[in-house]
Chains A and B, each alone.
Chain A
């Protein structure tokens, strides 16, 4: 298992106006499929990617929000949200989706891996990661 690296996916874009969020999600799923240690970091407009209640029925776009809820099942262990970005947008944890995680070997379970972190933690978490994708 020496090939396992700590991957962090840095999301800073809103979900629908550009293709960045969608493409990032695709890459996250690929990374997770290779059994790497994967975390997400949402900051700036990236926090909008985790807001629940999206309805694209009148937009002629695919609603890809449900895919975020499955990331725990794909082995994504942490989904961090930058506190300052959330507050600047008038949002709280109640506005965000919940994502459950379970280790099928050890049966360890976590109800919600979406976690709000402050600026110092954000910097530390990024520094600790071996690879940061953006």
Chain B
């Protein structure tokens, strides 16, 4: 049993990512997309929280949204996996359900 949690809001403006991390189980996956990808960047005030979550959860970020926001791969937190739209579909398929944190 594992769920995919999607977060599409900036962690600096809304607490969606923080809450998603707090209420997601070990073994679940968190996909950052749209403004949510800002949570995947190195050197921010949110980096520690994301790294802690990665201890027992997988964190992904959508490539096209990283590109639009000028976040180069070397600025993405180590361990965050970058996926394209096909990878998004694979994640949906691999998990029991999708829970969106808007």
Contact = CB atoms under 8 A, between A and B. Distances in A.
Query: A and B: real partners?
Result: yes
- Sorting the interface of chain A by its residue count into under 10, 10 to 19, 20 to 34 or 35 or more gives 20 to 34
Contact of B38 (A14, A61, A65): A14
B19 interface: no
A130 B9 CA distance: 33
Nearest to A53: B70
A53 B10 contact: no
Interface string A77-107: 0000000000011110001000000000000
Contacts of A45: 10, 12-13, 35, 38
Contacts of B9: 17
A48 B38 CA distance: 9
Given A17-B34, A89-B38, A90-B47, A48 B69 contact: yes
Interface of A: 13-18, 44-45, 48, 51-59, 61, 63, 65, 88-91, 95
